[in-house]
Amino acid sequence: MRNFTGALLGLTLLATSLPAQAANVICAYDPAGKSGDYFKILEDYALEAQGWGVEVEVKAYTDEETAAKDYEAGKCNGVVATGVRLQRFNRFPTTIEAIGALPTYDHLRYTINDLQKYSPPNLRKGEHETAAIMPIGAVYLFVRDRNTDTVGELAGKRIATMDYDKAAPVMVDGIGAIMVPADLGSIGPKFNNGDVDACYVSAPAYAPFELHRGLGTAGGVIKYPIAQATMQLLIRHSAFPEDFAKKSRTYFYGKFDTILGLVKQAEKEIPSSKWIEITGTEDFDDMFLGVRLELRDKHGAYDGTMLKAMRKKRCAIDSSRPECVEKKE
């Protein structure tokens, strides 16, 4: 008995002396920091992960590039950033943001569902794995002159362009516009101060970036999605249990409608008088297709398998689209 008691005491002392398991830090970009909607969603996610036996600590960043660089430097084992910012890690899941590829939120929903069901191997590349894709809204073109509402009328206009996005310079050059380099931190001031004639963002940026100032009385928002912006969670899969990424993707897909509700609420905050309805979209569709093909074939920025899957999704919803016969993607 004395030996048993001593052994038990020794095990107890050993257990209490062992360091607690370190939490996996996720560097999470949210322009509003800890008070942002996406950061709050991630805090709930961290609580959910505890039930899977994984400690997650979410660290807020208001600068997206810094969050991505800290992840790359090994300062965290996960990062939340826009798909375009994470292009360099894996083109397959980030191609979901391809210009003009997903015209509606239903297209986006079905595509994310297919990704998590049928494409798990493609979501892992090297040490990185995509563990969540969240909607942050259709990307719209904000113009200071609402009469600028066709592809032709964009020629010669100065457009705030995120130059780390390989698609954007190709698009701007293709329409004959002038690229003005910008990032998420500078795009609002450039538009509001009149340094550019147009910029492209999703509705959740409207209020925090104070874009009403740039729109003024003469501007507007072209109501035709350029792309579907997403926040994606990328993890260093070796730092987590093998089934963690799958559980994570399933969890976030279950939150799709809740998160999309935040986007739709933000779209409602843009005055109805500011939306510019366009009737002919063929020019935009042709321009979008040309950019996607160039980004796939010449620049290697888009994944061809993903583009083909999204073309099939568009044709499943609307088989009358010319591309359903041409099958260029």
Does the pLDDT of residue 28 top 70, yes or no?
Answer: yes
Residue 221 buriedness (CB in 10 A; 0-12 / 13-18 / 19+): buried
pLDDT tens string 168-181: 888 888 889 999 99
pLDDT one-digit tens code per residue, 284-308: 888 899 989 999 999 888 999 999 9
The band of 12, judged by pLDDT with boundaries at 50, 70 and 90, is: very low
DSSP letters, 268-312, are HTS-GGGEE--S--HHHHHHHHHHHHHHHHTS--S-HHHHHHHHH
* Rounded average pLDDT over 75-94: 95
Q: Which residues contact 66 (CB under 8 A, 6 or more apart)?
A: none
According to CATH, the topology of domain 23-326 is: D-Maltodextrin-Binding Protein; domain 2 (3.40.190)
Question: Whole-model pTM?
Answer: 0.88
Mean pLDDT across 225-238: 96
The pLDDT of residue 19 is 41
Alpha carbon distance 313, 329 (integer Å): 12
Task: Evaluate if residue 6 carries a pLDDT over 90.
Answer: no
